[in-house]
Structure 1
């Protein structure tokens, strides 16, 4: 056999080795480069297979119903649930450690309750004194949350407060009915200025939902006032709004407890 005859099969094998071949996602290949090196081609990643090795990430929801929907889809027998009453949060570690082995703990569900605009508006004025106009306007804008006295009665009170903004208030007294009466003179420059009075209940009740998706909770508000140089300032003091928010959270937690199959731990996951 001539040298030429022996070279031809070697060349054919070389050409065959260089011919392109189909590859499959999910496998690892060793590839010979033109300069004689060997490279590793890893096609096992999710960008090639279209599948993640494990679930990751934290999903945040805003109400108990959404929490239970996501939980039902993704939990397993080792899922853990934690509650934090101070932060008003509930967190589920969906891939928590198992009794006989560790897991990543990287797939989580987080309930972060969001306070309603109405709750924030009422609590932002808690304990503050406003001008007559400011106070009357606030009552008119929040009639939907007034329970006792009813909205119609409180509207009349607001209108009476507005009508006397230019008067000079001289005294206040407590009536047998439990209301407080404010006496005023409309025209102090005249020798016999027109006199009048406004009767305001010492307490009233409101019903406001603390969180989005939650029921309204009742609170008692006590009127506050100050007469300074004939000017009347008004406000209210809410009865333990923080405790009412915690009570609302307890009800949310109870709703979640009914829908999960594991005890809810008091604390924060690692």
Structure 2
């Protein structure tokens, strides 16, 4: 049977038949790269796609194939966790753009600073990815953790004397404004470090003694007298101040913060139980976080906001 051309009705030559077969084969399994025009915000004007031929023609994206050959990431992503305020500032300065922003969580139980490098632009309506960040979670210093760990917990006299001796470097003499403010507010005297040392050493020699009397002096100090022949190194009763000051960094390698602490004791069956109470630890932490937040804005030149950024 002789094949004829469907249009002319004439027999097709052998070369024409081969060419027709080859054309059909290409159309059955061929691939063309074409440009797809796009008119949508946030997308490029056009993207390349593959047009597949065959019994079921279709279009396919070339992006996943191209990604296999990528030499660099498409954009900066991830959250860097830093341990010091200095590192937070330096790393933010390294990556910041004109639209970067700093957010501060001032909750004293979980304070944090977060710089969103790829934050939404100030001008224009195009959104950004919000996936490149620097996070500083204010890791607590060892000194602050030590004082917080036993805050409000009762201690035997010997244990308290040892605790004061071990942490004497954290104590500070009161400043003039602190004396005026706190002594009037609490109606008691603020101790100097040397007075606390004398108190701890005086307590150490009375571990087995029974309390004979306990009075509150006009100054607001307590006075404890032990029923014992010898009364310590100087042979006198001890005056117990009602307050003392700490000067310690609240956060790892951070600036020092002055924190007032109330000194308390109770008499139980002739024995003295000691404890202390940090005055408004939330205020101390919030003040320190706020100052560090302001330093971060000043040294990076970025705007700041109290709160948390949008999820990425």
Q: Which moved more, 1:172-181 or 1:206-215?
A: 172-181
How far apart are 1:195 and its partner, in Å? 6.0
User: 2:207 matched to which residue of 1?
Assistant: 165
Paired residue total: 230
Query: Which secondary structure does the structure 1 equivalent of 2:214 belong to?
Result: strand
How far apart are 1:51 and its partner, in Å? 0.9
Q: Does structure 2 conserve the Cα–Cα contact (< 8 Å) formed by 1:43 and 1:49?
A: no
How far apart are 1:49 and its partner, in Å? 3.8
Q: Which of the pair has more CA radius of gyration?
A: 2
Match of 2:145 among 103, 120, 137: 120
Match of 2:157 among 126, 132, 136: 132
Q: Which moved more, 1:238-247 or 1:97-106?
A: 97-106
Unpaired segments of 5 or more residues in structure 2?
1-48, 51-60, 174-190, 232-236
**Cα pair distance change 1:185/1:195, threshold 3 Å:** farther
Query: Which secondary structure does the structure 1 equivalent of 2:75 belong to?
Result: coil
Give the distance between the partners of 2:217 and 2:120, measured in 1 at CA.
65
In the alignment, structure 1 residue 179 sits paired with structure 2 residue 202: no
Give the distance between the partners of 2:172 and 2:260, measured in 1 at CA.
10
TM-score (norm 1): 0.76
RMSD (Å), alpha carbons:
2.7
How far apart are 1:223 and its partner, in Å? 1.6
In the alignment, structure 1 residue 252 sits paired with structure 2 residue 273: no
Give the distance between the partners of 2:201 and 2:302, measured in 1 at CA.
54
Match of 1:61 among 82, 85, 108: 82
Give the distance between the partners of 1:147 and 1:102, measured in 2 at CA.
51
Q: Deviations over 1:181-215 (max 9, x none)?
A: 111123xxxxxxx2633222222222121111222
How far apart are 1:178 and its partner, in Å? 4.2
Q: Does structure 1 conserve the Cα–Cα contact (< 8 Å) formed by 2:212 and 2:226?
A: yes
Q: Does structure 2 conserve the Cα–Cα contact (< 8 Å) formed by 1:129 and 1:224?
A: no
Give the distance between the partners of 2:255 and 2:202, measured in 1 at CA.
32
Query: Which secondary structure does the structure 1 equivalent of 2:160 belong to?
Result: helix
User: 1:82 matched to which residue of 2?
Assistant: 103
Q: Deviations over 1:91-140 (max 9, x none)?
A: 12211233331222111111110111111211222222210011111101
Unpaired segments of 5 or more residues in structure 1?
1-27, 30-39, 187-193
